[in-house]
């Protein structure tokens, strides 16, 4: 059986949690390979709702969860999340969760710098979650990060903190923000070490063994392609690569390990935070989509901006993300809307473009080119086969397939796990 990689095909919040949970029941190992606790998955299982940020979703199904080295880990947030889900009855222990020993840590100074920078940007703020993700990735590539393995070496922590504070306190002082003391941070890290280190190991070795044994591995992406630091709507992006190619570097596996790549997209579009959103509907339509879809961020609680499905954007995500099949979620939110629109391109001045240009100024000027399609009066909610769908809903799905140049292989018609229509098994060879 093949491995499966799941990534978002829009700006995140596409309903990946349900799809990952649905597929995790058939996987042996579930791996997070990028991002941090700025990601959020909501899983509804029976009468329990789990809100996960760092923990791989497969833990809910009793599967081995792995946090790869491509993830930046806030140890305090991780332990708090473990405590929350344990209180809900989940077994999270070193037997069920493994964390890459070379994963970088997020410290309080990272969140402080994140917040200070956003405040300094004013009207040009990016809209980060303020959780220190970007500054932690900066430290990683600048070779001054403190990693999980360093928690076992107090002598390493000592000189690394000197280097880290020299950099961060200089920036914080320049931004008029409070600085940090070494002794307090050292005490905090030494107290966290015995709680975190039992989960740590070279996960690349475990994943190599799982592959050799023929285990099914599910790679779980965070955020989405259009938030990728290289391929997204820069600078209004996250600080990691979110495309499927990142699993090799972010989990310590070969590029062939990705298996089948499934992209998740809503039947409409949403975005949290700042940045271009050509098909946004800042009007009654957008409010209707937000209310019907319960569009609030799992991590931030912020209301999501809502708009029409942008096929040009998803087509770009399909190509750069290596997506082979699309999972379309929240189709039921469109029930009862008499007329729908799909973005098929962009117009800037007198020029029509098939995809968003890379420049921020050009992206801000891009106006959508729409194709109008008839809606449907029947209900798709809870449908579990194509026979249960209104004919016009099927036409809508088929048109999306044509425009994004990728088959829709899975349809989600409610938050419930079993309200799913599967056209093609992503785990099949």
pLDDT at 272: 87
Mind listing the pLDDT tens digit for each residue in 237-260? 999 999 999 999 999 999 999 999
Cα-flanking dihedrals φ and ψ of residue 401, to 5°?
-55, -45
Q: Indicate if 399 and 277 belong to the same structural domain.
A: yes
Residue 119 token pair: 């405040």
| Residue 223, domain member (yes or no) | yes
Cβ neighbours around 120 below 10 Å, total: 13
| Residue 71, domain member (yes or no) | yes
| Residue 428, domain member (yes or no) | no
Residue length, the chain? 429
pLDDT at 274: 84
Mind listing the pLDDT tens digit for each residue in 87-118? 998 999 999 999 999 999 999 999 999 999 98
Please say whether the beta carbons of 372 and 395 come within 8 A: no
Which of these is catalytic: 41, 110, 168, 231? 41
Please say whether the beta carbons of 43 and 50 come within 8 A: yes
Determine whether 288 is exposed, middle or buried from the number of CB atoms within 10 Å of its CB (0-12, 13-18, 19+): middle
The CATH number of residue 409's host domain is 3.90.170.10
| Residue 356, domain member (yes or no) | yes
Distances (CA, A) of 43 to 15, 24, 56, 63, 366: 9, 12, 11, 15, 35
| Residue 429, domain member (yes or no) | no
Domain termination site, one of 181, 196, 211: 196
The CATH number of residue 41's host domain is 3.40.440.10
Distance CA 130, CA 134 (A): 9
Q: Indicate if 221 and 118 belong to the same structural domain.
A: no
Domain termination site, one of 260, 282, 310: 260
| Residue 159, domain member (yes or no) | yes
Please say whether the beta carbons of 63 and 46 come within 8 A: no
Q: Indicate if 13 and 139 belong to the same structural domain.
A: no
Q: Indicate if 286 and 374 belong to the same structural domain.
A: yes
pLDDT at 427: 85
Query: Which of 424, 378, 58 lies closest to 216 in space, CA to CA?
Result: 58
Task: Give this prediction's pTM.
Answer: 0.92
Domain that holds residue 38: 4-101+200-260
Q: Indicate if 256 and 270 belong to the same structural domain.
A: no
The CATH number of residue 119's host domain is 1.10.300.10
pLDDT at 133: 93
Residue 185 token pair: 């941070």
Q: Indicate if 361 and 374 belong to the same structural domain.
A: yes
pLDDT at 343: 97
pLDDT at 1: 53
Q: Indicate if 37 and 113 belong to the same structural domain.
A: no
Please say whether the beta carbons of 203 and 66 come within 8 A: yes
| Residue 427, domain member (yes or no) | no
Q: Indicate if 245 and 272 belong to the same structural domain.
A: no
Domain total in the chain: 3
Q: Is 408 helix (H, G, I), strand (E, B) or coil?
A: strand
Q: Indicate if 287 and 344 belong to the same structural domain.
A: yes
Domain termination site, one of 260, 277, 301: 260
pLDDT at 395: 97
Task: Give me the half-sphere count of Cα atoms (radius 13 Å) on the Cβ side of residue 49.
Answer: 6
pLDDT at 424: 86
pLDDT at 57: 86
Q: Indicate if 67 and 158 belong to the same structural domain.
A: no
| pLDDT averages per 10-residue partition of the chain, 429 residues | 90 85 89 88 77 89 94 96 93 96 97 91 80 94 96 95 96 94 96 98 96 94 94 93 96 93 96 92 96 80 91 97 96 96 95 92 94 95 91 97 96 84 84
Neighbouring-strand partners of residue 48: 45
Q: How far is CA 188 from the centre of its chain?
A: 29
Question: Can 41 be counted among the known catalytic residues?
Answer: yes
Q: Indicate if 192 and 204 belong to the same structural domain.
A: no
Q: Indicate if 312 and 409 belong to the same structural domain.
A: yes
Question: Can 13 be counted among the known catalytic residues?
Answer: yes
Task: Give me the half-sphere count of Cα atoms (radius 13 Å) on the Cβ side of residue 422.
Answer: 11
């Amino acid at each position: 059986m093949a491995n499966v990689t799941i990534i978002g095909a829009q700006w995140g919040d596409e309903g990946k949690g349900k799809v990952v949970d649905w597929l995790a029941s058939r996987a042996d190992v579930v791996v997070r390979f990028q991002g941090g606790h700025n990601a959020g998955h909501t899983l509804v299982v029976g009468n329990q709702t789990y809100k996960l940020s760092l923990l791989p979703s497969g833990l809910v199904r009793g599967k081995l969860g792995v946090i790869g080295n491509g993830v930046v880990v806030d140890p305090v947030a991780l332990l708090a999340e473990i405590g929350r889900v344990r209180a809900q009855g989940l077994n999270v222990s070193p037997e069920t969760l493994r964390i890459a020993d070379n994963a970088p840590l997020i410290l309080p100074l990272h969140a402080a710098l994140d917040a200070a920078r956003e405040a300094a940007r004013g009207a040009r703020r990016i809209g980060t979650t303020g959780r220190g993700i970007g500054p932690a990735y900066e430290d990683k590539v600048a070779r001054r990060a403190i990693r999980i393995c360093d928690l076992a070496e107090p002598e390493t922590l000592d000189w690394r903190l000197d280097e880290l504070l020299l950099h961060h306190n200089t920036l914080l002082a320049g931004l008029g923000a409070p600085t940090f003391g070494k002794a307090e941070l050292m005490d905090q890290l030494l107290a966290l070490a015995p709680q975190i280190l039992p989960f740590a190991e070279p996960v690349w070795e475990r994943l190599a063994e799982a592959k050799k044994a023929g285990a099914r591995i599910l790679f779980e992406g965070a955020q989405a392609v259009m938030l990728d630091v290289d391929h997204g709507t820069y600078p209004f992006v996250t600080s990691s690569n979110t495309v499927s190619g990142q699993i090799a570097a972010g989990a310590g596996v070969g590029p062939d390990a990705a298996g089948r790549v499934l992209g998740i997209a809503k039947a409409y579009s949403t975005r949290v935070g700042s940045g271009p959103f050509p098909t946004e509907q800042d009007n009654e339509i957008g409010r209707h989509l937000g209310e019907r879809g319960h569009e609030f961020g799992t991590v931030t609680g912020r209301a999501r901006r809502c708009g029409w499905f942008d096929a040009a954007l998803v087509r770009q995500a399909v190509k750069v993300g290596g997506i082979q099949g699309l999972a379309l979620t929240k189709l039921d939110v469109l029930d009862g809307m008499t007329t729908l629109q799909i973005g098929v391109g962009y117009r800037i001045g007198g020029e029509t473009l098939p995809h968003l240009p890379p420049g921020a100024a050009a992206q801000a000027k891009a106006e959508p080119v729409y194709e109008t399609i008839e809606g449907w009066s029947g209900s798709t909610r809870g449908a579990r086969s194509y026979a249960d769908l209104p004919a016009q809903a099927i036409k809508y799905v088929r048109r999306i397939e044509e425009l994004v140049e990728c088959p829709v292989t899975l349809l989600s018609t409610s938050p419930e796990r079993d309200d799913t229509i599967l056209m093609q098994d992503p785990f099949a060879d």
